[in-house]
Amino acid sequence: MSKVYLTGAGPGDVELLTIKALNIIKKADVIIYDRLVNKDILNEAKNSVKLVYVGKKESHHTLSQDKINELLVNYALKYDIVVRLKGGDNFIFGRGGEEAIYLALHNISFEIIPGISSVISVPSYAGIPLTNRGISSSFKVVSGHEDINHQGLSKLNWNKFDSNDTIVFLMGYNRLELIIKNLLNVGFSKSTLIALISKGTLKDQKVVIGNFENIVNLSKNLKSPVLIIIGEVIKLRDKIRWFD
């Protein structure tokens, strides 16, 4: 019986791929993979595997999500082991939930293999703990590439953002100025600390530290993917920095 494995590939460093993900990649008949999947991971697949690229980046999608959903079903009807491989974790802004629902509606057997999310791994590689006693006891994870409602307005309730929290934005680099503007409008200070981490966990990782007033100028031309961290925990990088 065929099965689709909705699989998280981790944040980039091949060694952060889970054992379960590696085992199913080695058995896969088809691997349908995204842009942020480290290509070295694909070398672990068998020689006869069919590799299908469906990567997306802003303003350019190889296939729409609807077409990717259809692709999963079509391959599941032809092959025994289909791996849908996504960067990070497929349930954190990864459309994994939508794909699982579509497979269920079409009576396709599937399994979820979580991946190590960039939300937790990239800050760790930058030496920035998301929580730390006496500084921050909670954190918020936000998509910087959010859907806009029918009136062209943000669906985020910016008034709910708290400067005492650590805030992590994924996919927000191209909207950095807008993010800062919205947070300033709800009471954040211009001196608020902010870190941008480019290509986190990889050997060419780059970390830029600044505040709301200077970060745009400091962080020009960073390479995607870029993760954004806001909060006082950034100060700890001076002591904890270990990777880059």
pLDDT, one tens digit per residue, over 145-163 is 765 444 445 678 999 999 8
Single-letter code of the amino acid located at 162 = D
Give DSSP secondary structure letters for 72-125. HHHHHTT-SEEEEEESB-TTSSSSHHHHHHHHHHTT--EEEE----HHHHHHHH
Domain with CATH 3.40.1010.10 in the chain: 3-113
Q: Which residues are catalytic?
A: 34, 56, 171
- Contact between 7 and 84 (Cβ < 8 Å): yes
Q: What is the pTM of this model?
A: 0.91
β strands within the chain, DSSP E:
3-8, 30-33, 50-53, 56-57, 60-61, 81-86, 110-113, 139-143, 166-170, 193-198, 206-211, 226-230
pLDDT, one tens digit per residue, over 69-107 is 999 999 999 999 999 999 999 999 989 999 999 999 999
Domain with CATH 3.30.950.10 in the chain: 118-240
Instruction: Report, at the CATH architecture level, how domain 3-113 is classified.
Output: 3-Layer(aba) Sandwich (3.40)
Instruction: Report, at the CATH architecture level, how domain 118-240 is classified.
Output: 2-Layer Sandwich (3.30)
Please state the separation of Cα 87 from the chain's center in Å. Answer: 6
- Residue 186 is predicted with a pLDDT of 95
Provide the 3-class DSSP secondary structure of residue 26: helix
pLDDT, one tens digit per residue, over 6-44 is 999 999 999 999 999 999 999 999 999 999 999 999 999
